[in-house]
Amino acid sequence: MSILIDKNTKVIVQGLTGKEGLFHTEQMINYGTSIVGGVTPGKGGKIYLGVPIFNTVEEAVKKTGGYVSVIFVPSYFASDAILESISMNMKIIVCITEGIPVSDMIKVKNFLLTNKKSTRLIGPNCPGIISPKESKVGIMPNSVFKKKGRVGIISRSGTLTYEAADQIVKNGHGISTAMGIGGDTIIGMNIREVMELFLEDIETECIVMIGEIGGRLEIEASEWMKKILKNKKPVIGFIAGQTAPKGRTMGHAGAIIEKKIETAQSKMNILRNNGIHIVKSLEDIGKTVSEIIH
């Protein structure tokens, strides 16, 4: 099985007609994703890559039945694109865009909370979600995710998601679903929420969590995992940024150490004490998966 998406998922691409949107839409189609429509204001009625384009998300949903959206919209317009999809009650929104102003994302989070929407937001500044042999919503490389399996991946980093998956596959295992939640300070779904979905998935037997310096997402997820009494699954953890100095952003807006507890070493110690299998190098992930599941 997989979480959130499968081969029947109907996807709408916001910003399909732009350079990035076109390239990655073609890759998603090649992977087998059901892309049912695109949205670009002013280009409604046109066809790109065999996909009909609409002026609004509302029109696209009514005409195609799409219920998942992926966003390739420039940063200063991306929050409006997210809000438009939320207003249409999309089940899942994947926002690839990076550089969205924090003030814009505060408005998005408040809208989700105050309107009590059931929409799940993945990102922004993320690679999206992929379930091998089924569907891809985002920018993860098709070539890496060819093998379906029993390992779920949650990651704050796009590139490290691909590297971890590659290591897992090279050690003879496959991926159930891999999700990059994004590296910004304000994001949609967090690590704990994704862990819960993997615990409910009967075919996911092991979870790989790739974290970074800064914030408490990994700590909170491990503390929650330690407290639950049933349906536990082994979790392998890796924290990037082990040589990062305090006070300096390392790649992602959310990867900045503000407190000692947010350093890589402190996080690894806490995660280890909470029962997470810690690896110090990505190269050890595949080997550790092999030691845990057979």
Q: Which residues are catalytic?
A: 252
Per residue in 91-125, is it b (16+ CB within 10 Å) or e — as a string? bbbbbbbbebeeebbeebeebbeeeeeebbbbbbb
CA atoms within 13 A on the CB side of 64: 26
Per residue in 36-70, is it b (16+ CB within 10 Å) or e — as a string? bbbbbeeeeeeebbebbbbeebebbbeebebbbbb
DSSP state of 284: G
Residue type present at position 181: I
Dig out the tokens for 18 from the structure. Answer: 């732009």
Sole residue written with tokens 């806490």: 270
Residues 73, 78: Cα–Cα separation, whole Å: 5
